[in-house]
Structure 1
Amino acid sequence: MILSRLVARRLDVPMREAFTIAGGAHTRVRNVLVEARLSDGTRGWGEAAPMPAFNGETQGDALCAIRLAQPLLEGMRADRPRAWGSKLDRGGIGGSSARAAIEIAIFDAWARAAKIPLFRLFGPGRGPVVSDVTIPIQSPESAGRAAARLWKRGIRTLKVKVGTDPDADADRMAAVAAAAPRARLIADANAAYDKVQALRFLRLLRERRATPALFEQPLGARALKGMRAVQSEGGVPVAADESATTARDVVRVARAGAARVINIKLMKSGILESLHMARTAKACGLDLMIGGLVESRLSMTAAAHLARGLGGFRFIDLDTPFFLARDPMTGGRLNPDGEYRFASEDRGVGVRPRSA
Structure 2
Amino acid sequence: MKITRVEAIPYAIPYAKPLRFASGEVTVAEHVLVRVHTDEGVVGIADAVPRPFTYGETQAGVVAVIEKFFAPAVTGMSLLERERMQAVLQRTVANPTAKSAVDMAVWDALGRTLDLPVTDLLGGYTDRMRVSHMLGFDEPAAMVAEAERMRDVYGITTFKVKVGRKPFQLDTAVVRALREGLGEQVDLYVDGNRGWSPAESARAMHEMADLGLLFAEELCPADDVLGRRWLVQQCDVPFIADESAVTPADVTREILGGSATAVSIKVARTGFTSSQRVHHLAEGLGIEVVMGNQIDGQLGSMCTVAFGSAYRLTSQRAGELSNFLDMSDDLLTEPLEIHDGHLNVRPGAGLGVELDPEKLARYRTDH
Q: CA deviation at 1:95?
A: 4.4
Question: How far, CA to CA, are the matches of 1:200 and 1:93 in structure 2?
Answer: 38
Instruction: Tell whether the 8 Å contact from 1:224 to 1:253 is kept in structure 2 after alignment.
Output: no
Seen in structure 2, the aligned counterparts of structure 1 residues 127 and 350 have a Cα distance that, compared at 3 Å, is closer
1:243 maps to which residue? 244
Match of 1:329? 332
Asked whether the 8 Å contact 1:34–1:45 carries over to 2, the reply is yes
Q: Distance in 2 between matches of 1:93 and 1:4?
A: 24
Residue by residue over 1:119-168, the C-alpha shift from the partner in whole angstroms, topping out at 9 and shown as x without a partner, is 11211223631120111111111112122222223111011100011120
- Aligned match of 1:350: 352
1:125-140 correspondence runs (5 A): 125-126=125-126, 128-140=128-140
CA contact (8 A) 2:133 2:156 kept: yes
Q: Secondary structure, in 3 states, of the residue corresponding to 1:330?
A: coil
Quick check: 1:333–1:342 contact (8 Å CA) kept in 2?
Answer: no
Partner of 2:205: 202
What code does the residue aligned with 1:244 have?
A: A
CA gap of 1:164–1:150, structure 2 versus 1, over 3 A, is: same
Aligned-pair CA distance for 1:34 = 0.7
DSSP-derived class of the 2:27 partner: strand
Paired residue for 2:115?
Answer: 115
What secondary structure does 2:19 align onto? strand
Residue 224 of structure 1 contacts residue 256 of structure 1 at CA under 8 Å; is this kept in 2? no
Q: Tell me which amino acid in the other structure corresponds to 1:164.
A: R
Give the percent of matched residue pairs that are identical in Structure 1 and Structure 2: 24
**1:339 equivalenced with 2:342 (yes/no):** yes
Q: TM-score, normalised by structure 2?
A: 0.91
SS of the aligned residue for 1:187 comes to strand
Superposed, 1:281-292 pairs within 5 Å as 281-292=282-293
**Contact 2:57–2:95 under 8 Å retained in 1:** no
Distance 1:236 1:342 in 2: 30
The residue aligned with 2:364 is none
Contact 1:95 1:269 in 2 (8 A): no
**Alignment match, 1:318:** 321
Partner of 2:16: 16
Query: How far is the alpha carbon of 1:337 from its aligned partner?
Result: 4.3
Deviation at 1:109, TM superposition (A): 0.5
Cα distance change on mapping 1:94 and 1:85 into 2, 3 Å: farther
- Displacement of 1:210 after TM fit? 2.2
Cα deviations across residues 16-67 of structure 1 (Å, max 9, x unaligned)? 1111101222111101001110101001101100011011110011001110
- 1:128, 1:180 → 2: CA distance? 25
1:105 and 1:93 map into 2 onto residues whose CA distance is: 20
| Corresponding residue SS for 2:40 | coil
Supply the distance in 1 between the matched residues of 2:118 and 2:341 (Cα, whole angstroms): 19
Query: Structure 2 counterpart of 1:133, which letter?
Result: H
- Check whether the contact 1:48–1:101 (CA below 8 A) recurs between aligned residues: yes
Answer whether contact 1:3 1:77 (CA < 8 A) is retained: yes
In structure 2, what is the equivalent of residue 48 of structure 1? 48
Which residue number corresponds to residue 4 of structure 1? 4
Give 1:336 deviation, angstroms: 4.6
Q: Show the counterpart of 1:38.
A: 38
How far residue 212 of structure 1 moved from its aligned partner, in angstroms, is: 1.4
| Whole-Å separation in 2 of the counterparts to 1:252 and 1:316 | 24
Deviations 1:68-109 (A, max 9, x none): 21111111101221122222223x165411111111111100
The structure-2 alpha-carbon separation of the partners of 1:231 and 1:132, relative to structure 1 and needing over 3 Å to count, comes to: same
Paired residues for 1:196-275 under 5 Å: 196-206=199-209, 209-275=210-276
Distance 1:82 1:331, change over 3 A: farther
Supply the distance in 2 between the matched residues of 1:86 and 1:9 (Cα, whole angstroms): 24
Matched residue SS, 1:262: strand
Q: Counterparts of 1:94 and 1:108 in 2: how far apart (Å)?
A: 23
Q: TM-score scaled by structure 1?
A: 0.94
Q: Quick one: distance in 1 between partners of 2:22 and 2:128?
A: 31
Alpha-carbon distance in structure 2 between the residues aligned to 1:85 and 1:301: 22
CA distance in structure 2 between the partners assigned to 1:263 and 1:222 by the alignment:
18
SS at 2:282's partner residue? helix
Contact map agreement 2:298 2:336 (CA 8 A) in 1: no
- 2:305–2:344 contact (8 Å) kept in structure 1: no
CA distance in 1, matches of 2:14, 2:339: 20
Change in Cα spacing, 1:334 to 1:228, as seen in structure 2 (3 Å) is farther
Check the 8 A contact 1:243/1:249 in 2, yes or no: yes
CA contact (8 A) 2:222 2:228 kept: no
CA distance in 2, matches of 1:93, 1:199: 35
More off after superposition, 308-317 vs 9-18: 308-317
Contact 1:219 1:227 in 2 (8 A): yes
- 2:77 is matched with 76
Aligned to 2:146: 146
| SS of residue matched to 2:333 | strand
Q: Is the 8 A contact 1:19 1:27 kept in 2?
A: yes
Aligned to 1:174: 176
* Structure 1 unaligned blocks of 5 or more: none
How far apart are 1:270 and its partner, in Å? Answer: 2.3
